[in-house]
Chains A and B, each alone.
Chain A
Amino acid sequence: MSYNLETAEHPERLRRVAIDPVSRVEGHGKVTILLDEHNKVHQVRLHIVEFRGFEKFIQGRPYWEVPVMVQRLCGICPVSHHLAASKALDIIVGARKLTPPAEKLRRLMHYGQMLQSHALHFFHLCSPDLLFGFDSDVTRRNIVGVAAAHPDIAKQGVLLRKFGQEVIRVTAGKRVHGTGAVPGGMNKSLTVAERDELLKDVYRIVAWSRDAVHLIQKVHTQDPGLYNSFGIFRSNFMSIVGHNGDLDFYHGSLRARDDNGKLIFDGVDYQQYDKYIEEEVRPWSYMKFPFFKSIGKEHGWYKVGPLARVQNCDQISTPFAEHERKEFVDYAGGTPMHAPLAYHWTRMIEMLHAAEVIKDLLHDDDLLSDNLMVEGERRMEGVGVIEAPRGTLFHHYRVDENDLITMANLIVSTTNNNQAMNEAVRHVARRYLHGREITEGLLNHIEVAIRAFDPCLSCATHALGKMPLEVELVDPEGQIVHSLSRS
């Protein structure tokens, strides 16, 4: 847990390698690597090149607009923002505890989101690297290549994601820009027809999710030399955990452990998160660096997401996923696994859990109930926390007496993982690039490390004609001596 390689002593004497944008992640990211004349790595940074600015954008808006507006933060997991904002605003409208049907409907929506996002990530962000190898032909190393070589896996990936999107559509009203959750509850329940339509497919979804766990388990355990060490660094980790220490994506209290698995804090009401977590600003990145106050910024940073959650909980409430969790814990040898590529394995365990929870919820008639709203004593401030696909997501709002937002603070999953991703990139640069001629395959190793965390680096924006991946080697005088690009 150090800042090794974050800042070089004499950067003016070094060559600069820029990977911009990082491919297969949302928005724009940039990795800069400063090398000397012997290709020795002196500085590695993962930059965020686009300022999010969403907190300012929300200020001055009526609070009831926020759950819909924040979905535009991310085109891949809008539901996470929708629900985190709704949970924060529940507090403001005095709805600290929702009706059981409302909470179950929100859970269904959220677990549909987890399922579709994890399916997308595994089958379409990471399986190209895992199935073909990091050095394979770049033209094959994408979902289209996966579809060509493994049509069954690709088709399952498409249908798993489609199912998750359908769960979202029936609970939120639309596939995107849904309005299902409102401060104090939900504005719609399921119809019998909607529930039955999902029930028809859910057993197949559970079966495919089990297959996906077994696939990644096989890939991981067949090459432990690579998968247990690639990009590895030790760190604290954090997530919310549910009642009795269960894995819970929707609600719970904050729990953090150190790199050996020892509790740092537990049972923390997330309304008090700012007493435990602080965000540091560094001049070279727009993205802040959060850390645990009790430990300090040098050693108090942490990782979040599937690898943290599966190892932070005491058990998983659904049988198939719990079986797979135990397999994973046994493989790790009873101590926390820190290898970034283990994110993929744990992500699939979570996808299986999401599928099982969806199956169970679909058998609960509360989903058909109209008892969806509660209200209570109005408050001026609220915090909502949820476990989004990429990790813990905080939404914190204050409102005035005119119901307008006066303050918004969002700590998104990728921000929570900021230092962790930088550490993974530095480890890979040191291990694979140090002293070697830079090739596309070597640079992809950097991206493999980043993709393991599934970062979301910017608000959802998309346009045809965006710049392809570009790599430039720049000498100490600032002259480009070599460049690589993908188009």
Chain B
Amino acid sequence: MTAPVVVFAVGNPSRGDDAIGPELCGRLAEWLGSEGLADGVELIEDFQLQIEHALDLKGRQIALFIDAGLRTPGPYTFRRIAPATGMALTTHELPPEAVLQVYMQTEDGEPPPAFVLCVRGEEFELGAPLSPAVLSHVEDAFTLLQSLCRQPAPTAWEQATA
């Protein structure tokens, strides 16, 4: 059975703060299991978003994209996104909005309500661990994630974007 919520966690665990996505994904998996919520949320971890992720949106009620941010506001931003044409400057790292658009074009229907959690990163050096500066960002983001997963409804998530 398809879980109603899909969470995409993006990043390279070996590239400093690019590991924010995988780090949150790991924590979330453990927490969802301990809370008995794992059946309601599918976690997908990957280096980059790609076109085939559009297929992972099928049958969902909500989608969430978690990624590190470079020069983005701290500790994080959380916002609703919509399909967007022409936003993709690169296809090797498709923006979340473009994944929604690929879904629309290939599935001929509206994608599920989708949100982006962008956690500010500072250092992206090869082989580096998460930088000390972002540890508190990760904690704040994880608190938000717990709240979102307890109320997996678009209206509740919309309120959290305020």
Known: A75-B12, A464-B67. A142 touches B47 (CB 8 A): no
Choice from A151, A155, A161 contacting B50 with Cβ under 8 Å: A161
CA distance A72 to B98 in the complex (A): 24
CA distance A10 to B98 in the complex (A): 44
26 contacts between A and B (CB under 8 A): A54-B126, A57-B14, A72-B13, A75-B46, A75-B92, A76-B47, A76-B48, A124-B51, A139-B86, A142-B88, A142-B89, A142-B98, A143-B88, A144-B101, A145-B85, A147-B102, A155-B105, A158-B52, A176-B47, A460-B47, A461-B12, A462-B12, A462-B47, A462-B93, A463-B69, A463-B70
Residues on A with beta carbons closer than 8 Å to the beta carbon of B67? 462-464
A354 within 8 Å of B (CB atoms): no
Q: Please name the residue on chain B nearest to A70 by beta carbon.
A: B14
Choice from A23, A161, A462, A469 contacting B48 with Cβ under 8 Å: A462
Choice from A54, A123, A147 contacting B101 with Cβ under 8 Å: A147
The answer to whether B91 touches A175 (Cβ under 8 A) is no
A125 within 8 Å of B (CB atoms): yes
B155 within 8 Å of A (CB atoms): no
Residues on A with beta carbons closer than 8 Å to the beta carbon of B69? 463-465
1/0 per residue, CB under 8 A from B, across A160-186: the answer is 011001000000000110000000000
CA distance A142 to B91 in the complex (A): 7
Residues on A with beta carbons closer than 8 Å to the beta carbon of B91? 24, 120, 124-125, 142-143
CA distance A432 to B11 in the complex (A): 38
The answer to whether A140 touches B68 (Cβ under 8 A) is no
Q: Please name the residue on chain B nearest to A163 by beta carbon.
A: B52
B71 within 8 Å of A (CB atoms): yes
Q: Contacts A157-B51, A464-B69 known; list 14 others, CB within 8 Å.
A: A25-B90, A72-B47, A144-B88, A144-B101, A151-B105, A155-B106, A161-B52, A162-B52, A176-B46, A461-B124, A462-B67, A464-B95, A465-B69, A465-B118
Identify which of residues 428-487 in chain A touch chain B, using a CB-to-CB cut-off of 8 Å: 459-466, 468-469, 486
State the Cβ distance, A456 to closest chain B Cβ, in Å.
9
CA distance A23 to B70 in the complex (A): 17
Known: A69-B14, A75-B12. A463 touches B89 (CB 8 A): no
The answer to whether A72 touches B52 (Cβ under 8 A) is no
Choice from B68, B86, B89 contacting A469 with Cβ under 8 Å: B89
Q: 6 smallest A-B Cβ distances: which pairs?
A: A75-B47, A139-B86, A147-B105, A72-B14, A463-B70, A124-B91
CA distance A468 to B105 in the complex (A): 25
Q: B: which residues have CB within 8 A of A?
A: 10-15, 17-18, 45-52, 54-55, 67-72, 84-95, 98, 101-102, 105-106, 108, 116, 118, 121, 124, 126-127
The answer to whether B86 touches A464 (Cβ under 8 A) is no
Q: Please name the residue on chain B nearest to A164 by beta carbon.
A: B52
CA distance A165 to B12 in the complex (A): 18
State the Cβ distance, A144 to closest chain B Cβ, in Å.
5
Residues on A with beta carbons closer than 8 Å to the beta carbon of B102? 143-144, 147, 154, 158
Q: Please name the residue on chain B nearest to A52 by beta carbon.
A: B126
Residues on B with beta carbons closer than 8 Å to the beta carbon of A162? 52, 55
The answer to whether A26 touches B92 (Cβ under 8 A) is yes
CA distance A157 to B55 in the complex (A): 12
The answer to whether B89 touches A158 (Cβ under 8 A) is no
Q: Please name the residue on chain A nearest to B93 by beta carbon.
A: A462
CA distance A462 to B98 in the complex (A): 15
The answer to whether A72 touches B86 (Cβ under 8 A) is no
The answer to whether A120 touches B51 (Cβ under 8 A) is yes
Residues on A with beta carbons closer than 8 Å to the beta carbon of B49? 462
